[in-house]
Structure 1
Amino acid sequence: MTTAHGPDHAAPFWFTSPGAGDSLAWVALGCLVLALYGLVVLYASFDRWAEHRAHGTPLAKTIPTLLTIALLYEVFPLGHFSILLPLSAILVALMADWARFHVGEGQARTPAPRPHDTTATSPETAHD
């Protein structure tokens, strides 16, 4: 009992023989790079928006720090790093926010003069 085999199956259209160029792989790699770039641009614009919205709030430095850590964990495989690294960054941002709001509470805060402000007198212009 023998069975007759038909002709061999043809190679799929995406198959590339060894030593030949693979244009589909380059297109896929380019799409992957563009997708990662788009992700970073979206995170950067969201981070800028969140930093603008957080200005003057108790978590003005902590919110952008959290967003940056989230971006790093999403884009790069940071599983082999210690969890203490992002926790220390968050703690430093929290302490900076805490110090900004609580250290100088008893003192009257006066804004620093701007460089283009003509009403402020500096020692260089006072003797002119």
Structure 2
Amino acid sequence: MATESEFGHAAPSWFTAPGETDFLAWVTVFLIILALFGLITLYAAFDRWAEHKSSGTPLAKTIPTLLTIALVYEIFPLDHVSALLPLSAILIALAADWSRFHLVGPLDTAPGHTATQTGGRPAERTDAEGEPEHA
């Protein structure tokens, strides 16, 4: 790596003198940005897949949340992160699922029928939906 010079060992081949452009650093920065972009793209595809697979289940938001937390813990060493952060995300997802299924209920949108909630009640319409010019 280092070559001999008249004063002993010379600088390593990867060393860049002050004031010169370090192309290796720029290539590394570009690769890091590209890797982050790829990771975010893979995360988005994974989240879409998990949400698609869990649709229609009582835990439609909790399942993708649990899978995402597991994915993050597999990729990054998060020993220094408090356990309250993923627990709060899980509790928020559980609360969203609870409110969607038990307080409001999912909408049944069969073709040719009006949207009804799971209890058989017609879904409430907003003022804008009842007006003919907003249809």
TM value normalised by structure 2? 0.62
RMSD: 3.2
Deviation at 1:55, TM superposition (A): 1.0
Relative to structure 1, the CA distance from residue 109 to residue 69 in structure 2 (aligned partners, 3 Å threshold; closer, same or farther) is farther
Deviation at 1:43, TM superposition (A): 0.8
- Structure 2: state its 5+ residue gaps: 106-117
Deviation at 1:42, TM superposition (A): 0.4
Which residue of 120, 123, 131 corresponds with 1:108?
120
Residue of structure 2 equivalent to 1:24: 24
Residue of structure 2 equivalent to 1:84: 84
* Distance in 2 between residues matched to 1:75 and 1:60, nearest whole Å: 24
Relative to structure 1, the CA distance from residue 72 to residue 112 in structure 2 (aligned partners, 3 Å threshold; closer, same or farther) is farther
* Distance in 1 between residues matched to 2:74 and 2:30, nearest whole Å: 19
Relative to structure 1, the CA distance from residue 61 to residue 42 in structure 2 (aligned partners, 3 Å threshold; closer, same or farther) is same
* Distance in 2 between residues matched to 1:93 and 1:72, nearest whole Å: 17
* Distance in 1 between residues matched to 2:69 and 2:17, nearest whole Å: 43
When Rg is computed on C-alpha atoms for both structures, the one with the higher figure is 1
1:54 aligns with 2:91: no
Deviation at 1:32, TM superposition (A): 0.9
- State how many pairs are aligned: 112
Q: Which has the higher strand share?
A: 2
Residue of structure 2 equivalent to 1:33: 33
The answer to whether the 8 Å contact 1:36/1:75 transfers is: no
Residue of structure 1 equivalent to 2:64: 64
Deviation at 1:111, TM superposition (A): 5.7
Residue of structure 2 equivalent to 1:118: none
Any idea what SS the aligned residue of 1:52 has? helix
Q: Which of the pair has the greater relative contact order for Cα pairs under 8 Å at 6+ separation?
A: 1
Residue of structure 2 equivalent to 1:11: 11
Any idea what SS the aligned residue of 1:50 has? helix
Residue of structure 2 equivalent to 1:116: none
TM value normalised by structure 1? 0.65
